[in-house]
Amino acid sequence: MAGLEGVEQPRRHGSATAARWSPAVEDERALKALELFGNPAEAEVPLPSRPESAATARRLTQVVVLRHWGLSPKMTEDAVLLVSELVGNAVRHTGARVFGLRMRRQRRWIRIEVRDPSRGLPCLMPVQELDISGRGLFLVDKLSDRWGVDLLPRGKTTWFEMRVPDR
């Protein structure tokens, strides 16, 4: 998005790398989440608007992007991080009881959507290196190829798209 030219991405420190997400660790939990909640690549999956739903959304993203669509672990890791940020915003800022998660794949793109009943628009804020919060949309802006918000008659859909590299 416009307005972030020259803003550095947050630096990773040595300890952050050790805590990075690993596809192998989450496989069993991800498959269980798919079984319990449904496949967001087939239809929107409703999830309760609670902080623990972010873990469910991450697991669903992991199993769809990595296992069903066969995309790279790096793309999966980025998609998992970004879905976590969108879900976090829906849970913290909308006052909703439920939000929806949907994933779509086209030939060269994936699109992940989080729908909630609030019409309040997310705001991309400039971030400083020492900021401890407010980096969610900054990360979405930096790691996705496109992102945006579609207003609906009763709420909105916040989405991001990532280009699938040619094999």
Helix (H) and strand (E) counts in the chain: 5, 5
The mean of the pLDDT values for the chain is 83
Q: What is the mean pLDDT of residues 149-155?
A: 95
pTM of structure: 0.79
Write down the pLDDT at residue 166.
77
Write down the pLDDT at residue 106.
93
Topology (CATH) of 22-163: Heat Shock Protein 90 (3.30.565)
Write down the pLDDT at residue 25.
55
Q: Which of 164, 127, 158, 134 is nearest to 57 (CA)?
A: 158
Helix (H) or strand (E) holding 110: strand 109-116
C-alpha 36/C-alpha 135 separation (Å) is 31
The band of 80, judged by pLDDT with boundaries at 50, 70 and 90, is very high
Write down the pLDDT at residue 142.
92
In the predicted structure, residue 129 carries a pLDDT above the cut 90 = no
Q: What angle do CA 145, 147, 150 make, to 5 degrees?
A: 150
C-alpha 26/C-alpha 31 separation (Å) is 9
Q: What is the mean pLDDT of residues 46-58?
A: 95
Write down the pLDDT at residue 43.
96
Q: What angle do CA 46, 163, 91 make, to 5 degrees?
A: 30
In the predicted structure, residue 92 carries a pLDDT above the cut 70 = yes
The domains of the chain are located at 22-163
Contact residues for 100 (Cβ-Cβ < 8 A; gap 6+): 44, 45, 46, 47, 113, 114, 115, 116
